[in-house]
Structure 1
Amino acid sequence: MAYFMFEYPEEIEISSPQNKYVRNSKAMANTVVDVKETPDSYEYIVDMPGVKNDKIKVLLENDNILKVSGVKKKDEPTEKVKYVKIERRRGKYMRRFTLANDADKERISAAYKDGVLTVTVPKVHAPEKIKPKTIEVNIT
């Protein structure tokens, strides 16, 4: 029976495209989101516990991709504090969504409270179809 040991080439740096893809894939898989549709809007509700306000980003990419991301960093170790167990999630949060055709991209808003980010995308309401109006013909 043969055993194989796989090693990563030393040329692959931490910022390589492969590693970035893996980090982003993990972040996307671990970021939980609820999406609600109301008659007037779409709401993206993203759990981001412990993420500081300045570490949250909401971007509109390529005119129809909503990207939500954030980072929760590890606490800096001190001489007096030693972790015995770490279970709470740290690292990158990220999700991307393709917006619907009726999304009003100019009025997107976001609010962060108690570890939950809510991004609201209002809908553009199509004007009601104007029914043809019958014009009475006067006979003279």
Structure 2
Amino acid sequence: MTLVKFNNGQRRNTAGPRFIDVFDSILNDQFVNRATVNKTPAVNILETETGFDIELAAPGLKKEDFKINLDKNLLTVAAEVKKDETAEAKNYSKKEFGYQNFSRSFTLPDSVDPNKIEAAYTDGILKLTVAKKEEAKLQAREIEVK
């Protein structure tokens, strides 16, 4: 494991090195990191000839935690995480793992087949496969020049 120092290990010594060390550790550990953490999972969307592949990065969850709904052309993926009572009883000196409820919605185009949506959860990635309608698939053909 390699530790990376920011600012190349140089500190601003205008107020004294101990003063900055104290406030850096307080601000970096408690306020700044938690305030800037995104609470929704990152998403990759890939369009292929036959449909769309939607991947959500949601590590630490179980497939039973997910709830996927389709209402007209709005696909909603939500996860409800049950709190672990034994984890709250432990006395952590630092706790950065945080599994929270989330909900993401995607507006599907008219070209998708609502009856052909599949979901699989493997290695922390929820993958949704949304098939296109047959008439929406790209038909490749050669056009003759006259």
CA distance in 1, matches of 2:103, 2:65: 12
Aligned to 2:61: 51
Cα gap change, 1:74/1:125 in structure 2, threshold over 3 Å: closer, same or farther? same
Cα shift at 1:80: 7.4
- Cross-structure match for 2:49: 39
Structure 2, unmatched stretches of 5+, are 1-37, 140-146
**Percent pairwise identity:** 34
Q: 1:91 aligns with which of 100, 109, 114?
A: 100
Q: How does 1:122-133 map to 2 (within 5 A)?
A: 122-126=131-135
Q: Which residue of 2 aligns with 1:100?
A: 109
* Partner Cα separation in structure 1 for residue 45 and residue 75 of structure 2: 12
* Equivalences, count: 100
Does the aligned pair in 2 maintain the 1:48–1:93 contact within 8 Å? no
Q: Do structure 1's residue 117 and structure 2's residue 126 form an aligned pair? A: yes
1:57 Cα deviation after fit: 0.9
- Greater helix percent: which structure? 2
C-alpha offsets along residues 72-118 of structure 1, whole Å, 9 cap, x if unaligned? 34432369732221212321122100001110100100000111100
The TM-score with structure 2 as length reference comes to 0.61
TM-score (norm 1): 0.63
Pair 78,36 (structure 1): closer, same or farther in 2 beyond 3 Å: closer
Partners of 2:87 and 2:122 in 1: how far apart? Answer: 29
Secondary structure of 1:126 counterpart: helix
Unaligned runs of 5+ residues in structure 1 are 1-27, 129-140
Q: CA RMSD in A?
A: 2.3
2:39 and 2:100 in contact (8 A); partners too: no
Matches within 5 A, 1:45-84: 45-61=55-71, 63-77=72-86, 81-84=90-93
**What's the CA shift string for 1:27-68, capped at 9, x where partnerless?**
x8522111110010101100111112211111102x110001
- Moved segments of 4+, more than 6 Å: none
Q: Indicate how the Cα distance of structure 1 residues 44 and 78 shifts in structure 2: closer, same or farther if over 3 A, else same.
A: closer
Pick the structure with greater CA Rg: 1
